[in-house]
Amino acid sequence: MARFPRPSTPRSLYTLYTSPSKTTPSHSHTHSHSHSPTAALLLLRHFSSGSLARAASKDEKEPWWKDSMSRLRNIGISAHIDSGKTTLTERVLYYTGRIHEIHEVRGRDGVGAKMDSMDLEREKGITIQSAATYCTWKDYQVNIIDTPGHVDFTIEVERALRVLDGAILVLCSVGGVQSQSITVDRQMRRYEVPRLAFINKLDRMGADPWKVLNQARSKLRHHSAAMQVPIGLEEDFKGLIDLVQLKALYFHGSSGEKIVTEDIPANMEALVAEKRRELIEAVSEVDDKLAEVFLNDEPVSSTELEEAIRRATVARKFVPVFMGSAFKNKGVQPLLDGVLSYLPCPTEVSSYALDQSKNEEKVTLSGTPDGPLVALAFKLEEGRFGQLTYLRIYEGVIRKGDFIHNINSGKKVKIPRLVRMHSDEMEDIQQAHAGQIVAVFGVDCASGDTFTDGSVKYTMTSMNVPEPVMSLAVQPVSKDSGGQFSKALNRFQREDPTFRVGLDAESGQTIISGMGELHLDIYVERIRREYKVDATVGKPRVNFRETVTQRAEFDYLHKKQTGGQGQYGRVCGYIEPLPQGSSTKFEFDNMIVGQAIPSNFIPAIEKGFKEAANSGSLIGHPVEHLRVVLTDGASHSVDSSELAFKLAAIYAFRQCYTAARPVILEPVMMVELKVPTEFQGTVAGDINKRKGVIVGNDQDGDDSVITAHVPLNNMFGYSTSLRSMTQGKGEFTMEYKEHSAVSNDVQTQLVNTYKGTKPAE
């Protein structure tokens, strides 16, 4: 999601744009009149009721929604698995007054964290769905999108990032920058999301925030500096020192809700001065205004520093690092202040849409409530009342009862209910404006669809959906639960674009494919949980094909004499492979001159050959790239029938098939790997072991990008072994390239296994 520089505005207007956001939350001016909901609604109605009102009262109205927009933050919290992300969200909700008691993720009270609302998540203690939650902190509205931290759910992370204006990257002070942090950070960079870092778990044994900070600089290539210094670590972790305001903060009360500010302890003054200088140096490298002050050796005031950090963070040149321990309720409130002070509001980041009427031309969206409505459905959930669709509004105003147009499907729908979500509870609202995240009921759509009010044909960028890499055969255990089973699969397909369902024509099984073994396991588990359908899961399998490599003649007479009409049919001709690159897989030519076989029997012969080619005699898979030529034959005036010729064709094919030197074809995948350079040798060796051919190797920063062609049959369980080879830092994508012949030893092995299983069937 590219962000563009803000469009140039007249100077007077520009001051209005920025003035509210400059005020720091501690001394923000609250206009009591503009914050009462009724006044706000009236103003909004008045405001969007047309340009007349707009022209007449421009001076009064402009600041009103500028102020409301600058008090809005859409943030995501994403991190490596188990670095305490959901716990942090839980604390944030507690301090902002959204929940009244705190539950741990793997809590003994059996309630589980608020954000993990699916049973499966509470049981495994991992977050799968990104629930969107809304809360207020110091008169600011904050929408938090909780994202999963597991590689197999990256589509959820990408969808959430597409919707955010800023993010918090949580790092564990013991584990440091782990593999998943690198993946998540790479995604944030791709969608150009400004971010803060939060070093969590300072209360654990072996906590070392400075080590983590250096790792973030070297591994993630963050330009970052600490905003705080911890007072004591591990058991003795007491509080934090704010380097901007130069105050010591202690957290008292049963769950850290009372913040006590004191002067900096004398024994820490030297360290604090050094760290503050480090912070100012780091920021002045990327901010010219602060650099001037710094180079003139003038003292830097806290407001100057704060504004400089905000400018640098919004421009994605700097990553402020906060610290604390969510579990011990320390350091969460300063982090929230940091979100308000340093992360951008919706008008400060610019998103663009693609204009469908002008051949996907890029259009920059103003991000204000007066434009035409543009909203993106970024998440679907099956709620108790039907499908719940999460929308992020990029421009315009959405009201209950409005008609909106789904650009992707061209349908026009009415919004029956508009709600604001809090994990899985909801509150009804009448309308919402740009920058907000809401959910609507009863709107049928797929995730990634764009809605407008019909005046424009914009779609938000198509999110890149990776191809599924793993397939499993599933079938319900009992016959009568088929309905629920297909309902479940349909729903998951709509919710998750990386989950595909197909029917295997050869075996009649339902095949599900997804982003990895864990991904598919979770879905099978969810079918069991939510739809009470027990499903058996087959072994992942590969679709082979067979083909012939040389020409072979056939001449076969099918003769059967019984009482009454017998069967008689004779076919002569040859089979040969089709030339390379031909589009058809099967060709039948009738080259008979004269009436050796009456023409009404020819279709029956073709049908016979097609049927025979459906399963080759090597391993019973379809035969492709085959040309059958009929040159001669014989018929009997009484005994010839369609059935006789069809059978003659089938037997003729089997008779000459082995003479045509058949081979087995297997699907070969184009695999693209991205691994840190230090693991390049191990990974390349492993690909060779899997009979892969490496076709390319590039450097990309600290990573090696390897392209290889590997047979799919040797790729099972690869994601797991790649993770173990690269300490979880490698990622790979694979897509189908072609079917190519297998080597002789593999062919013999496959044929023998097929022969071994055949009698059993």
**Annotated binding-site positions for GTP:** 79-86, 146-150, 200-203
Cα 667 from chain centroid (whole Å): 26
Q: Which amino acid is at 248?
A: A
Among 120, 230, 159, CA closest to 379? 159
Buried b (16+ CB within 10 A) or exposed e, 76-115: bbbbbbbbbbbbbbbbbbbbbebbeebbebeeeeeebbbb
Question: Measuring CA to CA, how many Å separate 351 from each of 7, 31, 48, 62, 70?
Answer: 12, 29, 22, 21, 16
Among 147, 126, 140, CA closest to 191? 147
Per DSSP, what are the bridge partners of residue 736?
669
Instruction: Output the known binding site.
Output: 79-86, 146-150, 200-203
Longest dimension (CA), the chain: 116
C-beta of residue 528 within 8 angstroms of C-beta of residue 601: no
Sheet holding 458-460, edge to edge: 361-364, 352-355, 458-460
Q: If residue 278 lies in a helix (H) or strand (E), which one and from where to where?
A: helix 269-286
Q: Tokens 């076969």 sit at which residue? A: 556
Per DSSP, what are the bridge partners of residue 259?
251
Instruction: Give SS3 for 548.
Output: strand
Q: Half-sphere exposure of residue 494, counting CA atoms within 13 Å on the CB side?
A: 16
Cα-Cα-Cα-Cα torsion 27, 32, 35, 37, nearest 10 degrees, comes to 160
C-alpha–C-alpha distance, residues 553 and 31, integer Å? 93
C-alpha–C-alpha distance, residues 22 and 341, integer Å? 8
Per DSSP, what are the bridge partners of residue 417?
441
Instruction: Give SS3 for 329.
Output: coil
C-beta of residue 471 within 8 angstroms of C-beta of residue 177: no
C-alpha–C-alpha distance, residues 543 and 739, integer Å? 10
